[in-house]
């Protein structure tokens, strides 16, 4: 199984698209109620939601040069709640909100993303 698409709600499509383009995503679908972006081998999309919502999901985008990336984004006007910080779970991570209040994390985990020291044995269902 391969996770290849994540969609999050937004309350202002124009502002959301502008934000994700500033992050460096490449837009491949554009409509008044839906936008999709390419991110290497997966896609990420936005769906306009006219009703009040709370999205508890946290979206992570990984980049080996996290510090340089964050500095570059700050020069583009992106505001961070947390600049790159070494976390106890062995990821270097920055945190911000998109214009709709969705939580976004920019990070670098290297080998620790898939193989942290506390990794458990892989369990599969039959």
- Find the CATH number of the domain harbouring 80: 3.10.180.10
Domain extent for 100 = 5-112
Is the residue at 125 inside a domain?
no
What percent of the chain is helix, strand and coil (3-state, nearest 5)? 20, 35, 45
Helical (H) or strand (E) element with 18: helix 13-23
Prediction pTM value: 0.90
Is the residue at 106 inside a domain?
yes
Per-residue confidence (pLDDT) for residue 126, from 0 to 100? 67
Provide the mean pLDDT of the chain.
Answer: 94
Q: Kindly report the CA angle at 79 between 90 and 91, in degrees rounded to 5?
A: 5
Is the residue at 126 inside a domain?
no
């Amino acid at each position: 199984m391969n996770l290849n698409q994540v969609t999050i709600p937004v309350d202002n499509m124009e502002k959301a698209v502008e934000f994700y383009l500033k992050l460096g995503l490449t837009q491949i679908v554009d409509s008044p109620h839906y936008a999709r972006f390419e991110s290497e081998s997966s896609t990420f999309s936005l769906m306009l939601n006219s009703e009040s919502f709370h999205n508890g999901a946290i979206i992570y985008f990984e980049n080996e040069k996290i510090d340089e990336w964050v500095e570059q984004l700050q020069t583009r006007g992106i505001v961070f709640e947390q600049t790159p910080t070494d976390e106890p779970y062995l990821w270097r991570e920055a945190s911000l909100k998109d214009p709709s209040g969705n939580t976004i994390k920019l990070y670098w985990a290297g080998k620790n993303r898939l193989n942290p020291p506390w990794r458990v044995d892989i369990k599969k269902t039959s």
